Structure 1
Amino acid sequence: MTTASPTPDGALARRLGLGDAIAIGLGSMIGAGVFSAFSPAAAAAGAGLLIGLLVAGFIAFCNATSSAQLAAQYPTSGGTYVYGRERLGEWPGFFAGWSFVIGKTASSAAMALTFATYAVPGPWVKPVAVIAVAALTVVNTLGVTRTALLTRILVAVSLVALTVAVVVGFTHTAASAGEPGPAVSAYGVLQSAGFLFFAFAGYARVATMGEEVVDPARTIPRAITTALSITLVVYALVALSALHAIGAAGLAQVAAPLTAVADTSGTAWPGGVIRVGAAAAALGALLAMIAGIGRTSLAMARNRDIPGWFSAVHPRFRVPYRAELVLGLVVCVLVAVTDLRAAIGFSSFGVLLYYLIANLSAWTQDRAHRRYPRVLAVAGAIGCVVLVATLPPGAIGAGVVVVAVGIGYRFVRLRFAARATGGGHGGEG
């Protein structure tokens, strides 16, 4: 049993032990991404996606350790948006925050499409995905957020579905398993790692809970390592079973890869279990993402890094309702004009840039605040750049344009601020 530490006035209670922290880490990672990311990864690397999975897991570990030691030094909300501002300056902080917002917005579209892909027949996927986004946006603006209990329930549902997929995959084989898959190349493996990085999203959530964890200096590193290791094992089993059941060629051609695995059983119930698991995980992830992006947007709006209009908080429900409503609209548009593979690629682009800033920030920390070897931050930064460079050209092009829009807005805003103050620095630090 975990004993809470004495809690000063205004501070959060330290009630989470190692087991709790590991559960939160698993709940953040084992979600809808595993139900969708293997298909584009197989299209990029064929059976080489197994190597890509290891690469993605290693880079995720480097990023998570950087986030953990930064969270210990700066125990406040805002994540790398705050760390970048504190360690590198306001521009890198803005770059991280903007990259997070655009990357997670694309993730929201991917989650909505994943939900609909598993829940309804093909022609209904986009309409149902749009309806899901609209409904959960309204839920968020009413002040309802996903609880820790719901997180555990969704993880349990997801793990049951993944267990069924693994058992079916290792015990049944489709004709496509014997077909040659896409050629394996170094570039394809790295591109598959970029896609699979999407499935690890959420590992840094443990690092952001330093104020609520008992003995955080010891507990957080162990929780991150354990949760990432368990997740990597689960994903490896899913990948191996899917390759056994339908092969790299079959995996690359389907939008709902684990449903295709279930179909090899010749019975209906495995597919039903997997559809329920994928749908539940996707809806839970989508609800949490809308809430998280809204609050990051709120922090950026308060600093005028995005228009201050987004900083409005609803007087009754106490949520950043303007940011969440606009976010919901943007995600609906993305769902309507893009497909799942493109959404995953664009999401990885933004999130990898976000963690690039996290690693660079961790590299600047002094010895007193460094909890991990500096080489991990260097490896994480290099890995993020390499994976971004190997994403599909369309994802890179769209990402560069959207990043440029954000940078352009902030540059113009600072110029106007400087003129308004008679040629000062316009708030730049």
Structure 2
Amino acid sequence: MSPTDPSPGGLARRLGTGDAVVVGLGAMIGAGVFAAFAPAAAAAGGWLLAALGVAAVVAYCNAMSSARLAARYPESGGTYVYGRRRLGDFWGHLAGWGFVVGKTASCAAMALTVGSYLAPGYARPVAVAAVVALTALNLFGVHRSALATRIIVGVVLVVLAAVVVAGLIGGTGPVVGGAGGVPVDGWGVLQGAGLLFFAFAGYARIATLGEEVRDPRRTIPRAIPIALGITLAVYALAAVAALRALGPAGLADAPAPLAAAVSQAGAGWLTPVVRVGAATAALGALLALILGVSRTVFAMSRGRHLPAGLDAVHPRRQVPHRAEIAVGVAVVALVCVADLREAIGFSSFGVLIYYAVANAAALTLRRDEGALPKAVPVVGIAGCLLLAATLPGTAVLTGLMVFAVGVGVWWAGRSVRSHR
């Protein structure tokens, strides 16, 4: 079989390691730098870098667990598949539900970020147009989407490099602890880490592309840690630059924090460039998010945990076209009612539960199956549950209610699945 031949599920294997890394970078960097820093700074204050470190540790555990599982089960669906295979049907459904609802909220957040930066007075119409355009792009095939993401990531990294230089040279504010040596707030650091986790979840898009990468048993375990490491380095530099330019309070209050940072640092001429870069980054994140969510919807429909028919594959382009259209419609609906900061909190809750299941599944791997040291998935489970519990109360309450609906959907569909 050729490396580009369709997988058993019918999807074409076109992506190499570089493409998979870029898909993850497009999702993580776009979401993190331009959307999550402000609410995380509001929670953690001058200890934003500590919150970033906590989020990175949990993300590393999740990434390692996901990589080992994805290598063993190179199928579309990510933890939905791993949970079913290792823990049982219910846990797989719960993970898939968390991913779909959490990342649909992320799609809405990224679309609104595009609108807010490009046309603040017309944010929602621009957001809807962005969702429609990128859904159409995905319908033409994952290879074109990966090429577009590669271009977007390159542009964003250049813009962020300019922001970092301006902030480090022109900024004078405190980077750690805040003015006057504010003592560490443990709860605030954990809540900030939970909100920043929203920015690290992009590597999930790599795992959900298991049926579309060449040699997935080698490609996925390589691509995930590479994408995570690059993203962490970029985040740390951008956080230091923003804190030096604005200080913790200024960063928390800024609607467009990196644009405000370059202006405060005396490089106001960069502000339009940063706004365009922010919109470009959010478009890259939205592109990868729609791609990943649609693949999970495709897998859950194939397993009859979502309505039948969404598992159709286009006969010529070999993409799950019905799942992609369904995700696009759902995101457009959310864009009409979404609040950016609340969407970030809700998304973080759903995805943290998703990764708790992933770590639990990884804990069951045997040595001959590529098991990690037990400490990695154990820290991952504990970290995910702790960060989920410390998120803002509205996000936790909404998340629990939505997961209760998901449990009801699983219960109602048992009879359908039992007769397959």
What TM-score do you get using the length of structure 1 for normalisation? Answer: 0.85
After superposition, the Cα gap between the structure-2 partners of 1:182 and 1:151, relative to the gap in structure 1 and judged at 3 Å, is: farther
Paired with 2:213 and 2:325, the residues of 1 have a C-alpha distance of 30
Aligned length: 413
Tell me the residue number matched to 1:136: 134
CA shift for structure 1 position 160: 0.8
Paired with 1:340 and 1:182, the residues of 2 have a C-alpha distance of 28
Unaligned runs of 5+ in 2: none
Q: Which runs of 4+ in 1 moved over 6 A?
A: 11-15, 174-183
Paired with 1:330 and 1:23, the residues of 2 have a C-alpha distance of 25
**1:66·1:359 contact (CA, 8 Å) conserved in 2?**
yes
After superposition, the Cα gap between the structure-2 partners of 1:301 and 1:134, relative to the gap in structure 1 and judged at 3 Å, is: same
Matches within 5 A, 1:11-410: 16=16, 25-121=24-120, 123-141=121-139, 146-173=144-171, 184-206=184-206, 212=213, 216=217, 221=221, 223-313=223-313, 319-410=319-410
Name the aligned partner's letter for residue 426 of structure 1.
S
After superposition, the Cα gap between the structure-2 partners of 1:318 and 1:270, relative to the gap in structure 1 and judged at 3 Å, is: same
Name the aligned partner's letter for residue 404 of structure 1.
A
Unaligned runs of 5+ in 1: 418-424
Paired with 1:252 and 1:275, the residues of 2 have a C-alpha distance of 18
Residue aligned with 1:129, SS? helix
Moved more, 7-16 or 406-415: 7-16
Matches within 5 A, 1:412-427: 412-415=412-415, 417=416, 426=418
Paired with 2:326 and 2:227, the residues of 1 have a C-alpha distance of 34
CA shift for structure 1 position 409: 1.8
**1:45·1:182 contact (CA, 8 Å) conserved in 2?**
no
Paired with 1:189 and 1:361, the residues of 2 have a C-alpha distance of 28
Name the aligned partner's letter for residue 157 of structure 2.
L
Residue aligned with 1:37, SS? helix
**1:72·1:210 contact (CA, 8 Å) conserved in 2?**
no
**1:352·1:385 contact (CA, 8 Å) conserved in 2?**
yes
Residues 65-107 of structure 1, C-alpha deviation per residue, up to 9 Å, x if partnerless?
1011112221222211111111011111111111110011011
Paired with 1:51 and 1:172, the residues of 2 have a C-alpha distance of 23
Name the aligned partner's letter for residue 83 of structure 2.
G
CA shift for structure 1 position 173: 3.8
Residue aligned with 1:31, SS? helix
RMSD: 3.2
Paired with 1:106 and 1:410, the residues of 2 have a C-alpha distance of 21
Name the aligned partner's letter for residue 304 of structure 1.
R
CA shift for structure 1 position 28: 4.7
Residue aligned with 1:331, SS? helix
**1:176·1:250 contact (CA, 8 Å) conserved in 2?**
no
After superposition, the Cα gap between the structure-2 partners of 1:38 and 1:334, relative to the gap in structure 1 and judged at 3 Å, is: same
Name the aligned partner's letter for residue 377 of structure 2.
A
After superposition, the Cα gap between the structure-2 partners of 1:55 and 1:317, relative to the gap in structure 1 and judged at 3 Å, is: same
Residues 340-379 of structure 1, C-alpha deviation per residue, up to 9 Å, x if partnerless?
1111111111111111111000000111113421210110
Paired with 2:142 and 2:211, the residues of 1 have a C-alpha distance of 24
Paired with 1:20 and 1:301, the residues of 2 have a C-alpha distance of 26
Paired with 1:324 and 1:13, the residues of 2 have a C-alpha distance of 18
After superposition, the Cα gap between the structure-2 partners of 1:304 and 1:336, relative to the gap in structure 1 and judged at 3 Å, is: same
**2:39·2:192 contact (CA, 8 Å) conserved in 1?**
yes
Paired with 1:193 and 1:213, the residues of 2 have a C-alpha distance of 34
CA shift for structure 1 position 391: 0.8
CA shift for structure 1 position 26: 3.8
CA shift for structure 1 position 255: 2.0
Name the aligned partner's letter for residue 169 of structure 1.
G
Residues 251-297 of structure 1, C-alpha deviation per residue, up to 9 Å, x if partnerless?
11122111111222445431122112211121122123223222221
**Percent of pairs identical after alignment?**
54
**2:16·2:213 contact (CA, 8 Å) conserved in 1?**
yes
Paired with 2:246 and 2:361, the residues of 1 have a C-alpha distance of 43
CA shift for structure 1 position 315: 6.4
**1:85·1:91 contact (CA, 8 Å) conserved in 2?**
yes
After superposition, the Cα gap between the structure-2 partners of 1:142 and 1:224, relative to the gap in structure 1 and judged at 3 Å, is: closer
**1:25·1:202 contact (CA, 8 Å) conserved in 2?**
yes
**1:349·1:399 contact (CA, 8 Å) conserved in 2?**
yes
Paired with 2:311 and 2:213, the residues of 1 have a C-alpha distance of 27
After superposition, the Cα gap between the structure-2 partners of 1:320 and 1:23, relative to the gap in structure 1 and judged at 3 Å, is: closer
Paired with 1:230 and 1:318, the residues of 2 have a C-alpha distance of 31
**1:32·1:278 contact (CA, 8 Å) conserved in 2?**
no
Tell me the residue number matched to 1:420: none
What TM-score do you get using the length of structure 2 for normalisation? Answer: 0.87
Name the aligned partner's letter for residue 166 of structure 1.
V
**1:145·1:291 contact (CA, 8 Å) conserved in 2?**
no
